[in-house]
A and B are shown apart, each in its own frame.
Chain A
Amino acid sequence: MVQYAVYKCNLGFRGLTASTPTTQSGALHPDPARYRPGDQTADQTGANPGRRSRAWWDWSVLGIALLLSLPVLVVVGFVFVPAGDVWRHLADTVLPDYVTNSLLLMLGVAGGTLVGGVGTAWLVSMCRFPGRGLFEWALLLPMAMPAYIIAYTYTGMLDYAGPLQTTLRDLTGWGYGDYWFPEIRSLPGAAVMLSLVLYPYVYLLSRAAFLSQSLCVLDVSRTLGNGPWRTFFAVALPLARPAIVAGLSLALMETLADYGTVQYFGVSTFTTGIFRTWFGLGNAAAAAQLSALLLGFVFALILLERWSRRDARYHHTSQRESSIRRLSLTGWRAALAFGFCLLPLLFGFLLPATQLGWWSLTVARTSFDAAFLTLALNSLALAAGAALVALLLALVLGYGRRLSPSRRVGAAVRIAGMGYAVPGTVIAVGVLIPFAWIDNSVDTWMRASFGLSTGLLLSGTLVALVFAYLVRFLAVSLQTVESGLGKIRPSMDEAGRSMGLSPGQVLRRIHVPMLRGSLLTALLLVFVDVLKELPATLILRPFNFNTLAVRAYELAADERLADSGPAALSIVAAGLLPVILLSRSITRSRHVQSA
């Protein structure tokens, strides 16, 4: 998801000149079929080169896309299966709550992320005040904090027995019941928690948009008598709107996908409802139908994002990134700007990270035992495995698109990359239903034919879990791989060939070294995303198989907050890696601008 946001800012708002490899080659040479790095047959057959090898790629790409869209197809397919009384029961009782709560939550998160994200983005890109350079990258830190972790960290901090209320009572001499204190475990509380960790999406995209805005339009507004504030609201904000909406829709997709926070806070939304229907009522069809309804919400968000991006074409007036003359803030204005940027950073990262660190210290002697090691190894192996497979698939898809001009392949690649928008819960349901069916069918057939019971081959094994991760996170590695491939222009392949390299040598001596960075990034991003993922892991993990995320969540649910500290802290630490990558690209772009 993080990478997706970066992709959006690179492609959509960093100037529309960034051309894809296909458009480049298309402009120079009419036949894209010739960039076939691994193709030997082209040399001998002459006029009709490599048809077989291209067909092989085409079919691989189509097959992968079909497989990865299976969960969504299953879920959508269940719309037509009658679920009977259970569905009517749901509609009569809890469904209105799910819809209302989800909408209210989205409303709250939208408000929070807009104020926090756009406000800070404007300050760091347009104003000069102490700490600006630091905030520019530090404001991304809350991205490392999964929402469910920040949620129970705050619960611990704001508890009756927590540090804040204890201090309050010590200072005032009040006792239990003498004072009112806001309840964090509520819908508004959940909205605040989610906003604290999701505002960076809005920040990232609107900052890029502000930086790429033509200074001329802002100057024109000033010469027409608008002050800086009026200019912001009348010119800069409308111009950045497509970017802001894109960031917002990403944040809202994450909100819809959240399970840990709302479950922990006892707020009934779609995700918790799907869990309850699946495990509580044991009704797969109804759970799938709830999932389909949730997908409908997600789809609306995708449409919103697409629609806003279509506007970008017309709104984006300048492709040049001129150096920005930042408005100097002094005195109380500077202090205010500093405070405004510090707040989300403090509450979104510094405070909860400190608390997690403190908890980890208090239990350090007992927690880092063999069980924790197993947990960590489980998580690392799972994340590394999923990242590796995702990378391999992304390479097949990426090269498939590079080699084949067909629209079919392009569409298939895009479909394979759509999983980022589908909530983990939905994917889990969509994986489990067909896999369980396959397992049962195989088992029945084997017993009938050979008197053998095969049991669960797919569902309830790591295969199902890794498959679900692939569906959800393939987009991340795909975008990284494709952006890496985009840098290798077709003429570089040809330059290699003209200097005596065979197609295989071109791959080894030009592509591999040039792609290395992108491939590592793709591995890292998927690795971290898998490490943090909660709901799909909860549903699909094999019996007695725990990961850091699951364990942290379970301990917290049992009110053993301090004990969950080490696992949670490990996840946050891993989550910092992509944030560091992002910060580095931000600092780099700043150097480019100043040069």
Chain B
Amino acid sequence: MSNQLEVLDVSVAYGDTPVVRDVSFVLETGSIGCLLGPSGCGKTTLLRAIAGFEAVSRGQILLHGQQVSRPGMTVPPERRRIGMVFQDFALFPHLSVARNVGFGLRGLSARERHTRVDGLLDLVGLRHAARQYPHELSGGMQQRVALARALAPRPEILLLDEPFSSMDAELREQLAREVRDLLKREGVTAILVTHDQLEAFAMADLIGVLGQGEVRQWGTGFGLYHEPADRFVADFIGQGVLLPATVLDTIQVRTELGNIAGARPHGLAPSSAAEVLIRPDDMLYDESSPLRAVVVERTFRGAEFLYTLRLDSGARVLCLVPSHHRHAIGDEIGVRLQADHLVVFPQQQGPRP
């Protein structure tokens, strides 16, 4: 399996302000990558550098083994064989749906062109809307037209810039799954930029979390959630609290909730002070448990309650409990720790995530 996209030590700067710093990653043919991060982290800039809209100030970018960007040289976007789906879709309002989709097709006979456009419209389920104009379509339909248009010229790689951000929250995950199925069926290599982790989980094979212009961690959604590499990733992905702990040995720490063992050595010095990430799903509700905690906050989530609990020491943890266990604020309940992964950071002064 070859590498479709290689980003090697890439930095991008606006004037003297660095926006992306020393980013490296590789995307295999047919896989879907995602750049995930809060707004202003540089993810869109990085995507635009891959597209050729930004020049790189350091490093290089290779598409299908060919160098397309290095300092002082930027192959223009139109010669990169990329497809791009924009945040606002950027459909051409003066062209019909069919002509939007066929816009990037060149060097084809009228008939081939027609067949290709029809095929793509079938793919996204919009054959019936071929003669309509963009303003006549709903947001979801416009999104699919934008996708079909980007795929029409059979690009080497598809770039998606926050493609679902203008959708309703309920629609997003469903659309992300649909798009993923479509891309997988067609064997398209794609890279997605988003700030929405659920979107990233639903769509991507591999996710890179960006913070302040740097890649903090690459991994699958599962890995990022359960084994975040640093405090930034731990905070950005999912919910949780950092609980004070003391290092026992190379794989164990002691906390107020009990001892936690990890699968690998954590590398901290024995009996040093540390902090352990406790996810809400690491805490189980158990009336028979000797460990008691007081409910201080409660959020109803449908299938479950998210309780904020105060422990004896005053520290707080989150706990996800099936929604038929209903407790009032001030109730004392029994809990038990069941952490499959140990995520531990050295003790740090200053604001905790």
Q: List 13 A-B contacts (CB under 8 A).
A: A34-B54, A43-B76, A44-B74, A46-B72, A47-B13, A47-B55, A47-B56, A47-B57, A491-B88, A494-B90, A499-B103, A500-B81, A514-B93
A499-B104 in contact given A29-B44, A494-B84, A510-B92 (Cβ < 8 Å): yes
Which residues 4-59 of A have a CB within 8 angstroms of B?
28-31, 34, 42-49
Contact indicator B153/A500 (Cβ below 8 Å): yes
- Interface of B, secondary structure class, is loop
Q: In the complex the two chains form, what is the Cα distance from A30 to B71 in whole Å? A: 20
**What distance in Å separates the Cβ of B342 from its nearest Cβ neighbour in chain A?**
40
* B88, B90, B159: residue with the most chain A Cβ atoms closer than 10 Å: B90
Q: In the complex the two chains form, what is the Cα distance from A322 to B48 in whole Å? A: 39
Contact indicator A495/B78 (Cβ below 8 Å): no
**In the complex, what residues of A have CB within 8 A of residue B150's CB?**
498-499
Contact indicator B51/A498 (Cβ below 8 Å): yes
Contact indicator B74/A43 (Cβ below 8 Å): yes
- Asked if A364 is at the interface of the complex by the 8 Å CB criterion, the answer is no
12 more A-B residue pairs beyond the given contacts A43-B75, A495-B86, A498-B159, with a C-beta to C-beta distance below 8 A = A30-B19, A31-B14, A46-B73, A47-B57, A494-B53, A497-B53, A497-B76, A497-B78, A498-B77, A498-B150, A500-B104, A514-B94
Number of interface residues of A (CB under 8 A): 29
Which residues 127-183 of B have a CB within 8 angstroms of A?
149-150, 152-153, 159
Q: In the complex the two chains form, what is the Cα distance from A48 to B14 in whole Å? A: 10
Closest B residue by C-beta to A35: B53
**In the complex, what residues of A have CB within 8 A of residue B87's CB?**
28, 491
- Asked if B83 is at the interface of the complex by the 8 Å CB criterion, the answer is yes
Q: In the complex the two chains form, what is the Cα distance from A42 to B103 in whole Å? A: 24
A498-B44 in contact given A46-B72, A47-B71, A47-B72 (Cβ < 8 Å): no
Contact indicator B72/A494 (Cβ below 8 Å): no
Q: Across the A-B interface, how many residue pairs have beta carbons closer than 8 Å?
A: 89
Closest B residue by C-beta to A517: B94
- Asked if A487 is at the interface of the complex by the 8 Å CB criterion, the answer is yes
**In the complex, what residues of B have CB within 8 A of residue A495's CB?**
84, 86, 90, 92, 149
Contact indicator A491/B104 (Cβ below 8 Å): no
**What distance in Å separates the Cβ of B81 from its nearest Cβ neighbour in chain A?**
8
- Asked if B215 is at the interface of the complex by the 8 Å CB criterion, the answer is no
* A31, A491, A500: residue with the most chain B Cβ atoms closer than 10 Å: A500
Which residues 17-74 of B have a CB within 8 angstroms of A?
19, 44, 48, 51-57, 71-74
Contact indicator B153/A489 (Cβ below 8 Å): no
- Asked if B111 is at the interface of the complex by the 8 Å CB criterion, the answer is no
Closest A residue by C-beta to B54: A34
**In the complex, what residues of B have CB within 8 A of residue A513's CB?**
94
A residues apposed to B, CB below 8 Å: 28-31, 34, 42-49, 487, 489, 491-492, 494-502, 510, 513-514
Q: In the complex the two chains form, what is the Cα distance from A498 to B103 in whole Å? A: 11
Closest B residue by C-beta to A515: B94
**In the complex, what residues of B have CB within 8 A of residue A500's CB?**
78-79, 81, 104, 106, 153
Q: In the complex the two chains form, what is the Cα distance from A45 to B54 in whole Å? A: 11
Contact indicator B74/A46 (Cβ below 8 Å): yes
- Asked if B97 is at the interface of the complex by the 8 Å CB criterion, the answer is no
A502-B78 in contact given A34-B53, A491-B87, A514-B92 (Cβ < 8 Å): yes
**In the complex, what residues of A have CB within 8 A of residue B71's CB?**
46-47
**In the complex, what residues of A have CB within 8 A of residue B78's CB?**
497-502
Q: In the complex the two chains form, what is the Cα distance from A404 to B277 in whole Å? A: 48
- Asked if B82 is at the interface of the complex by the 8 Å CB criterion, the answer is yes
**In the complex, what residues of B have CB within 8 A of residue A501's CB?**
78
Closest A residue by C-beta to B14: A31
Contacting B86 at CB < 8 Å: which of A44, A491, A502? A491
Contact indicator A494/B86 (Cβ below 8 Å): yes
**What distance in Å separates the Cβ of B218 from its nearest Cβ neighbour in chain A?**
25
Closest B residue by C-beta to A493: B90
Q: In the complex the two chains form, what is the Cα distance from A498 to B89 in whole Å? A: 13
Q: In the complex the two chains form, what is the Cα distance from A510 to B149 in whole Å? A: 15
Contact indicator A492/B90 (Cβ below 8 Å): yes
**In the complex, what residues of A have CB within 8 A of residue B44's CB?**
28-29
Closest A residue by C-beta to B155: A498
Contact indicator A499/B149 (Cβ below 8 Å): yes
**In the complex, what residues of A have CB within 8 A of residue B48's CB?**
29
**In the complex, what residues of B have CB within 8 A of residue A46's CB?**
55-56, 71-74
Q: In the complex the two chains form, what is the Cα distance from A497 to B71 in whole Å? A: 21
Q: In the complex the two chains form, what is the Cα distance from A489 to B93 in whole Å? A: 11
A491-B76 in contact given A46-B71, A497-B53 (Cβ < 8 Å): no
**In the complex, what residues of B have CB within 8 A of residue A491's CB?**
86-90
Contact indicator B77/A497 (Cβ below 8 Å): yes
Closest B residue by C-beta to A43: B76
**What distance in Å separates the Cβ of A486 from its nearest Cβ neighbour in chain B?**
12
Contact indicator B72/A498 (Cβ below 8 Å): no
Q: In the complex the two chains form, what is the Cα distance from A514 to B93 in whole Å? A: 8
Contact indicator B88/A30 (Cβ below 8 Å): no
**In the complex, what residues of A have CB within 8 A of residue B81's CB?**
500
Closest A residue by C-beta to B161: A491
**In the complex, what residues of B have CB within 8 A of residue A49's CB?**
55
8 smallest A-B Cβ distances: which pairs? A499-B104, A491-B90, A46-B55, A43-B76, A498-B84, A497-B77, A495-B90, A491-B86
